Amino acid sequence: MYIMEQRTEIAELGEFGLIEHLTKNFETHNASTVMGVGDDAAVLDHFGKQTVVTTDLLIEGIHFDLMYTPLKHLGYKAVMVNLSDVYAMNATPTQITMSIAISNRFSLEALDEFYEGVFIACEKHGVDLVGGDTSSSNKGFIISVTAIGEANADKIVKRSTAAKGDLICVTGDLGGAFLGLTLMEREKKIYLENPQLQPDLENEDYIVGRLLKPEARKDMIEFFEKNDILPSAMMDVSDGISSEVLHLCRQSNLGCVIYEEKIPVSEASRKAAYKFGLDPTVCALNGGEDYELIFTLKQEDHDKITLNEEISVIGYMTDITDGCKLLTKGGNRFDITAQGWNAFQK
- Which amino acid would we find at residue 79? V
Annotated binding residue at 159?
A: yes
- What lies within 8 Å, CB to CB, of 239 at 6+ separation is 288, 338, 340, 341
Can you tell me the distance from the alpha carbon of 196 to that of 215, in angstroms, rounded to the nearest whole number?
33
Identity of the residue, 137 or 308, whose beta carbon is nearer to a second copy in the bound complex: 137
Q: Smallest distance, Å, CB 331 to a second copy?
A: 31
Annotated binding residue at 40?
A: yes
Annotated binding residue at 322?
A: no
Q: Smallest distance, Å, CB 14 to a second copy?
A: 6
Q: Smallest distance, Å, CB 111 to a second copy?
A: 11
Identity of the residue, 83 or 184, whose beta carbon is nearer to a second copy in the bound complex: 83
Can you tell me the distance from the alpha carbon of 186 to that of 283, in angstroms, rounded to the nearest whole number?
16
Phi, psi of 70 (to 5 degrees): -60, 145
Q: What is the dihedral of CA 66, 345, 275, 262, to 10 degrees?
A: -110
Annotated binding residue at 115?
A: yes
**Helix, strand or coil, per DSSP, at residue 300:** helix
Cα 128–Cα 130–Cα 132 angle in degrees, nearest 5: 130
Identity of the residue, 15 or 222, whose beta carbon is nearer to a second copy in the bound complex: 15
Annotated binding residue at 55?
A: yes
Q: Smallest distance, Å, CB 154 to a second copy?
A: 12
109: enclosing H helix or E strand = helix 108-125
Identity of the residue, 95 or 266, whose beta carbon is nearer to a second copy in the bound complex: 95
Annotated binding site for ATP: 115, 132-133, 159, 238
Annotated binding site for substrate: 63, 289, 341
